[in-house]
Amino acid sequence: MARRESRKSKKRVSRVSHNSREVVGVIDRIVDRQTAVILIEEEGKQLDVSLQQLPMQATSGSWLRITLQEEEIVSLEIDTTLTKQMEARIHDKAQRLRARRKVSKFRKK
């Protein structure tokens, strides 16, 4: 089991060199069918990226793993697990809101 842990940490080291780092962002919207606006919440940043740079299956709401090297994008990859988790979370919240609306705060006379 110790071998697996060391392999995982080696992969991380090889993916992120001393000049690069990996962050997570979400495609917030697509502007003019040319540019994707990606929000990186942990850094409070917004990236404007050409649609040609995105993975083919990426759409608004997709979560991405972004490798940056000196603030330039080196790679973009869809995080399908995180995307599905966030979609489920949003769906659950929407259902709770809809359920609350069915019960009126006002009594009928």
Answer whether 78's CB lies under 8 Å from 86's CB: no
Any idea which fold 18-102 has? OB fold (Dihydrolipoamide Acetyltransferase, E2P) (2.40.50)
Domain ranges of the chain: 18-102
Write the DSSP symbol of residue 61. T
Give me the residues paired with residue 69 across strands: 20, 72
**pLDDT tens digit sequence for 52-107:** 999 999 999 999 999 999 889 999 999 999 999 999 999 999 998 888 766 666 66
